């Protein structure tokens, strides 16, 4: 009796849909939607070399890599009056020139220069072609500090106006003192402008005390990094040991003569 009931139960659940055998199906197939000739789509080919601009080396400024997910970078450079001291502005121009010349052609760039007034090199970021690089470098080198103050908040906000850009490099040498109310006013202005979530890398020249804390906070608010920058030009690299030894040997030979 039990055997008959089990057999009847088994037969009850055998439904013949008239379909070819389909192993390992996780979901039922409706007969009207089934096509045994269909094959899964072929996998996409791997991307070609340098197809993704993010495969390029990251930009470098003052020897530090600038993270970017958008293959673009906006430099925001403080040209307030204090930048004329100790060769600061000359070093800044040299570092800018080095950084821009190393940008790959897949990148886009723009530059903002500020004291209490703010100017930008271009209305929008431009591709880093040789001509654009040379033009940006000429423009920066033509500008000199004229004794103005430091409108860091408004300047960075302008650098963040292009929402496709996700990286800003800020160089400054002093407390913000115009364009917003105190450290927190400048910091809030930058946070409000950064609706796209760009990463701000901050370089503080001879930074200390509350000014240094401000720079660190601006970087931290965006998930960026803060770097201390010395006032003058970087020290010259030490000569190779063999060159130093040869020079010393040559001096000894002259003395012996």
Provide the residue ranges of all domains of the chain, joining segments of one domain with +: 89-229
- The pTM of the full predicted model, rounded to 2 decimals, is 0.72
C-alpha distances in Å from residue 60, one per residue of 44, 96, 155, 235, 254:
33, 9, 21, 18, 44
DSSP letters, 93-120, are HHHHHHHHHTS-TT-EEEEEEESSSEEE
pLDDT tens readout for residues 87-134: 999 999 999 999 999 999 999 999 999 999 999 999 999 999 999 999
List, for residues 145-158, the tens digit of each pLDDT value: 999 999 999 999 99
- Checking if the pLDDT of 256 tops 70, the result is no
* 94-106 pLDDT tens trace: 999 999 999 999 9
- Summary mean pLDDT of the chain: 83
Residue 172 has pLDDT above 70, yes or no: yes
Distance CA 196, CA 16 (A): 57
135, 100 contact by CB (below 8 A): no
Tell how far CA 51 is from the center of its chain: 18
Q: What percent of the chain has pLDDT above 70?
A: 68
Tens-place pLDDT, residues 57-76: 899 999 999 999 899 999 99
Q: What CATH number is given for 89-229 in this structure? A: 3.40.50.410
Spatial contact of 75 and 112, defined as CB atoms under 8 Å apart: yes
Return the DSSP state at 182.
Answer: H
Is the model's pLDDT at 1 over the cut of 60? no
Residue 32: what pLDDT? 57
Mean pLDDT computed over 232-250: 55
């Amino acid at each position: 009796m039990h055997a008959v009931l089990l057999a009847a139960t088994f037969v009850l659940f055998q439904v013949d849909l008239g379909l070819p055998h389909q192993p390992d199906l996780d979901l039922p197939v409706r007969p009207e939607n089934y096509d045994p000739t269909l094959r899964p789509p072929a996998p996409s080919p791997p991307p070609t070399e340098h197809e993704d601009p993010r495969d390029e080396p990251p930009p470098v400024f003052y020897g530090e890599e600038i993270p970017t997910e958008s293959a673009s970078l906006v430099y925001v450079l403080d040209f307030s009056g204090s930048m004329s001291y100790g060769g600061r502005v000359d070093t800044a121009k040299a570092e800018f020139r080095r950084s821009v010349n190393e940008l790959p052609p897949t990148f886009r760039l723009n530059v903002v220069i500020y004291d209490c007034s703010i100017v930008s090199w271009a209305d929008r970021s431009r591709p880093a072609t040789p001509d654009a690089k040379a033009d940006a470098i000429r423009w920066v080198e033509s500008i000199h500090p004229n004794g103005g103050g430091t409108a860091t908040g408004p300047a960075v906000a302008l650098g963040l106006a292009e929402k496709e850009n996700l990286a800003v490099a800020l160089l400054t040498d002093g407390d913000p003192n115009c364009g917003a109310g105190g450290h927190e006013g400048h910091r809030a202005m930058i946070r409000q402008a950064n609706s796209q979530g760009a990463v701000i890398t901050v370089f503080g020249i001879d930074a200390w005390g509350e000014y240094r804390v401000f720079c660190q906070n601006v970087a931290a608010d965006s998930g960026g990094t803060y770097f201390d920058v010395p006032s003058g030009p970087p020290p010259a690299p030490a000569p190779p040991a063999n060159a130093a030894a040869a020079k010393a040997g040559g001096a000894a030979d002259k003395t012996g003569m």
